[in-house]
Structure 1
Amino acid sequence: MERSQIRRFLKLTKLFSKPHPWHGIDIGEESPDVIKVFIEIVPGDTMKYELDKESGYLKVDRPQRFSNICPIPYGFVPQTFCDEQVGEYCMQKTGRKDIEGDRDPLDICVITERNIPHGNLILDAIPVGGFRMIDGEEADDKIIAVMRGDALYGDMKDIQEVPKHIVERLSHYFLTYKQRPFSEEEREVEITHIYNSKEAKEVIRRSRKDYNKRFNMDRKELFELINSGLGAS
């Protein structure tokens, strides 16, 4: 079976099964200027939901601590992975050593004037900046974006255009959201920089490289299995 036939086969299988949000949703042809985002949690959620990487369904991670509620829709960028490239970029910008990516999809929050009542959906977003966040010894970048076509925020191109109070609320949320209820353990989380759209897009590019490096072997194995199972005829 030729590679084009394999791609066609994979495309047809999506008609009869739900694509995995991390691997089955394309980041978009306009990436990194405009990207697809999978939303996990929205303002008002008192639980922290996150993707179950094996099944592709949302799972409950933990209750949100006290009144610390995510101020805007939050999720991840499909087909991204934060590993060596993302960790290296963090070290370049901070002068730190021994920083690694957190080995998760790239986190992103999307500013919109509209109320999005629930997660488990995809939308188009324009990256305008981000937080260079370090959790222990791991790079845990948070991209900040605006929803494409949003009447109030959709024309923004850079973090400097985002209202200061939104940036401050997001900063407070990310510095405290990993604290667990009734736990005396404090996580060492810090935001070293608030960066612009240019750096945000570089983080996205690097997370794409990390993703391709991590999952290309899996794709190759899948193609070989399809070839061996379906290509004999």
Structure 2
Amino acid sequence: MIFSNYIAMAGEADGKTYQVSRMPPAALNERILSSMSQKHVAAHPWHDLEIGPGAPAVFNCVVEIPRGSKVKYELDKATGLIKVDRVLYSSVVYPHNYGFIPRTLCEDNDPMDVLVLMQEQVVPGCFLRARAIGLMPMIDQGEKDDKIIAVCADDPEYRHFRDISELPPHRLQEIRRFFEDYKKNENKEVAVNDFLPAEDAINAIKYSM
């Protein structure tokens, strides 16, 4: 608008008429997306990210919550962004990186949940290759909410694990206790059943694909 006023005043001063084209500028996101080919743009981590050629045994996992976090981040289905759902009410933190498997759908209308064991915590929103080693059957407030137990396929300390039975018993106790306790101060009931082997985890992922 400032530019248009300047042209009008200049026209009055020298007696000449100027015609200015007023083409609206393209929106920033349109300009960015137009410079990319569609195959290089992952619009939504749940729907557009590939599950991976090795699925259901080895798959891509989008990390929502880093190990050691007391903040429960989760995928915002509408935007594809990672949002803060809540801060945990109990004095516990996530024992391992936690996220979901893209292009899966479970009975609760959410993607398949996965807990990934690895040496380091990673940032929310990144994805990594994971290998299924077990299944943790869980009931959350009366609804089925099973978790895949996996290891990072590109972590030299964990990639050799093939089944949950190979993990130290104390590690499994830590995982179980976290999920049994993390909602207690919200007066929400969670029941964790016995861990199942890699075969059950692979079948669960295959069923959800």
Partner of 1:229: none
Q: Is the 1:133–1:193 Cα contact (8 Å) retained in structure 2?
A: no
1:111-190 maps to which residues of 2 (within 5 A)? 111-113=117-119, 115-179=120-184, 183=186, 186-190=187-191
TM-score using structure 1 length: 0.70
TM-score using structure 2 length: 0.78
Ranked by relative contact order (alpha carbons within 8 Å, sequence separation 6 or more), the top structure is 1
Partner of 2:33: none
Call closer, same or farther: CA 1:117–1:199 in 2, change over 3 Å. Answer: closer
**CA distance in 2: counterparts of 1:70 and 1:120, whole angstroms:** 16
Q: Which piece of structure 1 moves more, 162-171 or 192-201?
A: 162-171
Letter in 2 for 1:165: H
Partner of 1:103: 109
Q: Does 1:29 align with 2:35?
A: no
Call closer, same or farther: CA 1:117–1:192 in 2, change over 3 Å. Answer: closer
Offset of 1:14 from its aligned partner? 4.6
**CA distance in 1: counterparts of 2:150 and 2:191, whole angstroms:** 20
**CA distance in 1: counterparts of 2:104 and 2:117, whole angstroms:** 20
**CA distance in 2: counterparts of 1:36 and 1:117, whole angstroms:** 14
**CA distance in 1: counterparts of 2:38 and 2:154, whole angstroms:** 31
Identical-pair percentage: 37
Partner of 2:19: none
How many correspondences in the alignment?
A: 174
**What are the Cα deviations for residues 80-122 of structure 1, in whole angstroms up to 9, with x where unaligned?**
1112xxxxxxxxxxxxxxxxxx221110011112x22422100
Partner of 1:227: none
Q: Is the 1:50–1:58 Cα contact (8 Å) retained in structure 2?
A: yes
Equivalent residue of 1:168, what SS? Answer: helix
Letter in 2 for 1:28: G
Q: Which has the larger radius of gyration?
A: 2
Q: Is the 2:90–2:183 Cα contact (8 Å) retained in structure 1?
A: no
**What are the Cα deviations for residues 30-57 of structure 1, in whole angstroms up to 9, with x where unaligned?**
1111100000011232211000011000
**CA distance in 2: counterparts of 1:119 and 1:191, whole angstroms:** 25
Equivalent residue of 2:193, what SS? Answer: strand
**What are the Cα deviations for residues 183-221 of structure 1, in whole angstroms up to 9, with x where unaligned?**
4xx22211122100000011101111xxxxxxxxxxxxx
Partner of 1:12: 37
User: Please, which runs of 5 or more residues in structure 2 have no aligned partner?
Assistant: 1-35
Q: Which piece of structure 1 moves more, 67-76 or 41-50?
A: 41-50
Partner of 2:83: 59
Offset of 1:18 from its aligned partner? 4.2
Partner of 2:92: 68
**What are the Cα deviations for residues 114-149 of structure 1, in whole angstroms up to 9, with x where unaligned?**
x22422100001100011001233210110001113
Letter in 2 for 1:141: D
